[in-house]
A and B are shown apart, each in its own frame.
Chain A
Amino acid sequence: MILQALKNNKNENKKNITDGRRKSMWKEIGKRMIKDKPSLISFIFIVALILVSIFANFLIDVDLVTAQNGAERIQSPSFAHWFGTDLYGRDIFARVVYGSRVSLSIGIITVLISTSIGGLLGAVAAYFGGLLDDIIMRVTDVVLAIPEQLLAMCVVAAMGATPTSVIAALSIAVIPTRTRLVRSTVLGIVDTEYVEAARASGMGNIGIIVKEIMPNTLGPIIVVSTQGIASIMLTASSLSYLGVGIQPPTPEWGAIIFEAREFLRLAPYMCILPGLVIVVTALAFNLMGDGLRDALDPRLKD
């Protein structure tokens, strides 16, 4: 009885301490993020972009995206059409705004899927070791032997060129890199005293992985995931540009440029402006990742 009470008491104490520490840690990280101008601006930009893409239908009429308007074909940027109009007289700015729904969700959903599956596989491999580790890592080696973009292209070719299959394809290609990252991080944690303590207090394997190990791998995962969104968006747009990803008339950013590529000389704005949006968005995710890395581990900052 007394022992039980003591144990409970101890657990509560431990919880309070970790909670307090965690709060101040995240506060500290938030403070450092705000001090870093580029990452703060990037963060604001990304939030704004996400809000715009969610509420796009309140901001811009859907008709502008799809309706063809013969009278207004291939017009240069103006106040009426910020990014000009395309071959079918559709407003390119409206298409880019609606395209952000497709492009951003591909980036974010792929990162969520690949990080959770890859992270779990990596944690399991490192935690249990032995045969399971061997099997997971050999499969990872095989998938990593194929360049990401090529693998994604093959999967899209087999599954059909829809947003869902692009997400699936990119996830399959990205999972192994996350598995490796988490595995190497977890290998450094498995033998620490707090994991041993958790095991001694009778916590099950799954509990240890979920409650003790996963939270401690969060730092590197958050950084890699933020920058991963950028690189996944770039790959997805290349797939559409090569004609093996999302197909026009879906307003995905790469697909918008794919449609405009014949007009590169005649109407360069059609390719340049949507491309700039891709660059700025990818840049924002990269800078935010840099800022997060510095904030999570200030020693790394030069």
Chain B
Amino acid sequence: MYNAISCNIMLVGRFGGGVLVIKYVTKRLLLLIPILIGVAFLIFTIMEFTPGDPAVKILGIEAPQEAVEQLREQLGLNRPFAVRFFDYIYKIVTRLDFGMSWRTKNPVFMDIIPRIPVSATLAFLGIAFATLFGIPLGVLSAVKQYSKSDNVLRVVSTILVAVPTFWLAMLLILAFSSYLAWLPAGGVHSYVGYIMPVITCGGPYGSAILRITRSTMLEEIRQDYVRTARAKGVPNNIIIYKHALQNALLPVITTIGQNFGAILGGSVVAESVFSLPGIGSLVILGIKSKDTPTVIASVLLIAFFFAIVMLAVDLMYAFIDPRIKAKYFKAE
């Protein structure tokens, strides 16, 4: 994060104008390539240790030996590890070919594509929900420190961080679909189906945001500039939301970015508990049926998505920090 910012400032200094934003994004996207190749290598290597012969898994245990041998040759499984890895990367780069699923026998890419919208919706609604309840309540908690609402919020957010996502999901199902029968326990036939999954993966994440917002806001409202603004007679709301919050947002955004991995992990749980047809549940399915190509491709995709979000967070960081923002605007 800090690295990125200093690199950003450097870029601002060296170039200038709106072009530098594009340059910065391009540079970051290029830096993604080695990381993604590294991720592919790591997952490819880990999955290499999965016990069992892929050819036997595809054909079934009772398949004749010759057929297994033939398939091994056909899939190129007899080649050395390094050759297979480079071949895998080569096919992805040239043809977006992630191999064939051992479970469904479809190209993995075709299995993944229809599941992307579900996971993306869940992740974005989750992050939106977490931010929308974390930041305002965090501000409230800080501004009214030691009040009743502050105490309640502190207790609730402290507990929520310690709640396992799957258990939260079960409680929600029990309350809202078993007893009250307001919401469906699973599936995404309509947007109503997203309500509980979003709360499940956004809840603990939002309370982390609430906690960091509270503590940074508490620091900010004791700063000299706040006292000066008060003395000048600036209305309280403007002091809190315009002056203090803007400065407090920087560490908050860092937290949002750093914990995004947790929301992706949480969405795997949510997809599985609420039986949503997303990428997370595909990974679980892949692991349980030992379908290595699906697992590798899904993890790669999630890592890619994760990296893009981190980039977006870094960019947001640059635009919210007035010191950096001023440089952008001066140049334009």
* A residues in contact (CB < 8 Å) with B: 138-139, 141-151, 153-155, 157-160, 230, 234-235, 237-238, 241-244, 254, 257, 261, 264-265, 268, 271-272, 275, 278-280, 282-283, 286-287, 302
Contacts and interface: CB of A to CB of B under 8 A. Distances in A.
Interface stretch (B43-51, B57-65, B102-110, B239-247): B43-51
B283 A150 contact: yes
A272 B49 CA distance: 36
Contacts of B261: 144, 147-148
B164 A159 contact: no
Contacts of A237: 164, 166
A278 B166 CA distance: 12
Contacts of B295: 154, 157
A149 B303 contact: no
B255 interface: no
Nearest to A139: B38
Interface of B: 34-36, 38-39, 41-43, 46-51, 145, 158-159, 161-167, 170-171, 173-174, 178, 215, 218, 261-262, 264-265, 268-269, 272, 283-284, 287-288, 290, 295, 299, 302-303, 306-307
B283 A238 contact: no
B264 A242 contact: no
A159 B49 contact: yes
B145 A145 contact: no
B164 A286 contact: no
A73 to B, nearest CB: 21
B265 A254 contact: no
Contacts of B287: 153-154, 157, 244
A158 B288 contact: no
A143 B272 CA distance: 24
A142 B33 CA distance: 11
Most chain A CB within 10 A, of B158, B170, B173, B302, is at: B170
Contact of A157 (B34, B47, B303, B306): B47
Contacts of A302: 145, 215, 218
Contact of B167 (A143, A243, A244, A271): A271
B318 to A, nearest CB: 20
A210 B211 CA distance: 34
A241 B173 CA distance: 16
A107 to B, nearest CB: 13
Contacts of B171: 272, 275
A21 B41 CA distance: 49
A145 B50 contact: no
Nearest to A261: B170
Contacts of B215: 302
Contacts of B265: 147-150, 235, 238
Contacts of A264: 170, 173-174, 178
B165 A283 contact: no
Residue with the greatest number of chain B CB neighbours at <10 A, chosen from A146, A148, A150, A243 = A150
Contact of A138 (B38, B42, B283, B290): B38
A268 B174 contact: yes
Contacts of A230: 162
B264 A150 contact: yes
Contacts of B166: 237-238, 241-242, 254, 257
A145 B43 contact: no
Contacts of A147: 261-262, 264-265, 302-303, 306
Nearest to A290: B158
A46 to B, nearest CB: 13
Given A142-B42, A145-B303, A286-B162, A275 B283 contact: no
Q: What are the 9 tightest A-B residue pairs by CB atom distance, in nearest-first order?
A: A142-B38, A149-B265, A282-B162, A275-B167, A147-B261, A283-B162, A158-B49, A157-B287, A241-B166
Contacts of B307: 145
Contacts of B170: 257, 261, 264, 271-272, 275
B139 to A, nearest CB: 14
A283 B41 CA distance: 37
A150 B302 contact: yes
Given A145-B35, A154-B43, A271-B170, 7 more contacts: A145-B303, A149-B265, A154-B287, A157-B295, A241-B269, A242-B166, A286-B162
A142 B35 contact: yes
Contacts of A235: 265
A158 B46 CA distance: 6
B234 to A, nearest CB: 24
Contacts of A138: 34, 38
B3 to A, nearest CB: 9
Nearest to B34: A138
Nearest to A286: B162
A49 to B, nearest CB: 14
A302 to B, nearest CB: 5
Contacts of B262: 147-148
B303 A243 contact: no
Nearest to A278: B164
A5 B202 CA distance: 64
B52 to A, nearest CB: 11
Nearest to B145: A302
A286 to B, nearest CB: 6
Nearest to A243: B288
